[in-house]
Chain A
Amino acid sequence: MSLSQFLLRRILQALPTLLGVMLLVFVLFNWVGGDPAYILAGKISDPARIASIRQQLGVDQPYWVQFWIFIKQVCTFNFGRSWSTSELVSDILLSRVGPTLTVMIPVLILETLLAVLFAVLVAYVRGSLTDRMVMMSCTVAMSISFLVYIIVGQWLFGFKLGWFPVQGWSDSVITNLVHYAPLPIFLTVLVELAPSLRLYRSFVLDEMNHDYVRTARAKGLSEHAVMLKHVLRNAAIPILTNLGIALPGLFVGSFLIEVFFSIPGLGREVVESVNRSDFPVIKATTVYLAILTMLINLLVDVMYRWVDPRVTFK
């Protein structure tokens, strides 16, 4: 089938998923999410004020009415204002995505480059002591909780040694990249490098076990050439697929990092809005992320089929 037919089919398939996401969020937060009226009512309030606030927020209406409003909101991309700060929800999301990406994009780039580099290097010496030592250190590194890395890292590099600011964020992207982001980026890469390295190593080794590698060597190609011209290009497919799967996670980032380093990002926003039962923000975040995830998956699939000639649109 052609590209356009494929795209249409995928978009049609995405709609039930989006509806499912909306239903899940709606049910979860109406059923379990706390009643925000009590938080907004203040130190001294009474049932009359609570009822009035609930009416203002629109939570006293029957469920199907609220859900219909939700659907309209999704179609118009207008989720109104936050219940706790009265800020426009779209403003909130737009302003939070920037800081998260400022940290996560360098993390993704650095971590992928380093992981691929080390995976290739380790593949050269596969089976040797070096290989096993590296793998063992990866395992040990992965066994330490992310929380411990952050607590110790912030204390050691920020406070004790003073190499980086302990926390903070500014308005200018350059200042952030040069001054505030390095320590969070460093700690995140540290944590994500080990599992990526293991994964990419397995991809590379899988490729190297294929027949065409034996053939290439038999033809007299050097190990370098085998690796770079053949193995890497083929291993690139699962690596890129893996990157594609990781892309949606980029936008939420790591809320732990954002909380500890006071970065006004989307991950922290999600946690805070759940704590405050700020339903408009929760709805908007979920719907946008779901749409983004589906779009990225679609893009990855299209690219995958474009890169690998064996695969056709189904």
Chain B
Amino acid sequence: MNNPITLNKLRHSAGPWKLGWRRLRQDRVAMCSLVVTMAFTIIMLCSYAGLIARNWNAEVANSYSPPTLHVVTNATSAKAPVGIQRDDPGPPVDISDIDPLTPYYQEWQERTKNIAVVQAEHATHLLFGADKWGHDVLAKTIKGSEVSISVGIVAALLAVLIGTALGALAGYFGGWIDTLLEWLYNVLTSLPYILLILAVAAVFSRGFTTIIMILGLTGWTGIYRLIRAEYLKHTDRAYVRAAQALGASHASRMFRHILPNVSHVILVQFSQNVVGFIKAEVILSFLGLGVPVDMVSWGTILAETQEELVLGKWWQLVAAGGSMAILVTAISMLTDAMRDALDPKLQE
């Protein structure tokens, strides 16, 4: 509506977001971090769209091929023996007298001849090396980023949604709602975190949404605390009272008036949660509660590195560990810079 107060604000000064952005632009480290984060996001989206790393699951190299700058491809090597051999194996045993499929043997043999055989070429060296199956580590890392980053973002969204909603309710209404939510908060934080995670993991079967549930349902308490404190501060402020006088409903006051003023806190918390959850996914994968078997994430890659390091195969550790470190560092520094840039105390 044409509220004279709001119109004045629009005419005279830029909003806090624009100011924050201007301040952020001047911070070189923050800009660097932003570029890195964007780069990872673009790679992740390309991977999601299937433009790159689509065949991460294909065996394209020999087992544990080392990294190199010069990729070499060879035809498949001769068939190696399978397992421990017996000294005196006999001829294959004949089951045709008891086999229910015996009447079909002839047709079976003819059909088999018509089935095409799939041949594969294996490289001996890849850019980032290969894992034990011969998968390209670079492709795995890129595909893994898709899962890890999306787990981080969606779980953080969930945690932020729950925490903000509950924090707003508690801080705004106070009274018995606050008491009830405080009780819930106390109960959840009294349990050891690991116990909570294992319990939630046991409810749902293993899957992508499960990890999001696990992380989101256990990770909202931090933001809840902050949002509740903010709402406690803001609920009694003049502008809210004014809105109330003008007939704004509870929902309107909570979400149209107060929420924009705490949005910078939410953004910073969201960002921190993304980082925290990307790291937590690694631990979950190690515990065997991570993504399902046909998906790859940085966590599953790092869980494999435990046995590889003793064998001297370091490339998966460097690739996945390094990518994660770079991205997490970039997001963390961006978050710090955002917090400084958006801090209302520093705004004139």
- Give chain A's interface residues, CB within 8 Å of chain B: 16-17, 20-21, 24-25, 28-29, 31-34, 132, 135-136, 139-140, 142-148, 151-152, 155, 159, 249, 252, 255-256, 267, 270-271, 274, 282, 285-286, 289-290, 293-294
Contact = CB atoms under 8 A, between A and B. Distances in A.
Contacts of A271: 194, 198, 287
A143 B325 contact: yes
11 contacts: A20-B186, A32-B203, A33-B199, A132-B29, A136-B29, A143-B326, A144-B324, A148-B317, A151-B309, A155-B309, A293-B190
Interface string B309-330: 1100000010001001111110
A-B CB proximity, top 9 nearest: A143-B328, A20-B187, A290-B190, A32-B202, A28-B199, A17-B186, A274-B198, A143-B325, A143-B329
Interface stretch (B3-11, B154-162, B252-260, B278-286): B278-286
Dominant SS at the A interface?
helix
Contacts of B177: none
Given A255-B194, A274-B195, A31 B203 contact: yes
Given A147-B282, A271-B194, A289-B192, 8 more contacts: A16-B183, A29-B199, A143-B326, A143-B328, A147-B283, A151-B305, A151-B306, A274-B198
Contacts of A29: 199
B313 to A, nearest CB: 12
B191 A25 contact: yes
A282 B196 CA distance: 11
A139 B333 CA distance: 7
Given A24-B191, A285-B192, A145 B324 contact: yes
A30 to B, nearest CB: 11
Nearest to A152: B309
Size class of B's contact patch? 35 or more
Contacts of B184: 20
A79 B299 CA distance: 37
B138 interface: no
B183 A17 contact: yes
Given A145-B324, A270-B194, A34 B329 contact: no
Contacts of B269: none
B302 A286 contact: no
A127 B10 CA distance: 34
Contact of B325 (A25, A140, A155): A140
A21 B191 contact: yes
A17 B188 CA distance: 9
B55 interface: no
Interface of B: 29, 183-184, 186-192, 194-195, 198-199, 202-203, 275, 279, 282-283, 286-287, 302-303, 305-306, 309-310, 317, 321, 324-329, 332-333, 336
A270 B195 contact: yes
B187 A148 contact: no
Given A24-B187, A31-B203, A143-B328, A148 B195 contact: no
Contact of A145 (B188, B191, B282, B326): B282
Nearest to B328: A143
B35 to A, nearest CB: 16
Contacts of A31: 203
A197 B306 CA distance: 29
Contact of B183 (A20, A135, A148): A20
B186 A147 contact: no
B202 A140 contact: no
Contacts of A270: 192, 194-195
Contacts of B194: 252, 255, 267, 270-271
Contact of A155 (B195, B310, B333): B310
A296 to B, nearest CB: 11
B191 A286 contact: yes
A252 B190 CA distance: 12
Contacts of A286: 191-192, 195
Contacts of A20: 183-184, 186-187
Contacts of A34: 202
B191 A290 contact: yes
Given A140-B329, A152-B309, A145 B203 contact: no
Contacts of A293: 189-190
Contacts of B317: 148, 151-152
Nearest to B314: A152
Nearest to B332: A139
Contacts of B198: 271, 274
A274 B198 CA distance: 7
Given A17-B183, A155-B310, A270-B192, A139 B329 contact: yes
Nearest to B303: A147
A140 B202 CA distance: 33
Contacts of A33: 199, 202
A100 to B, nearest CB: 12
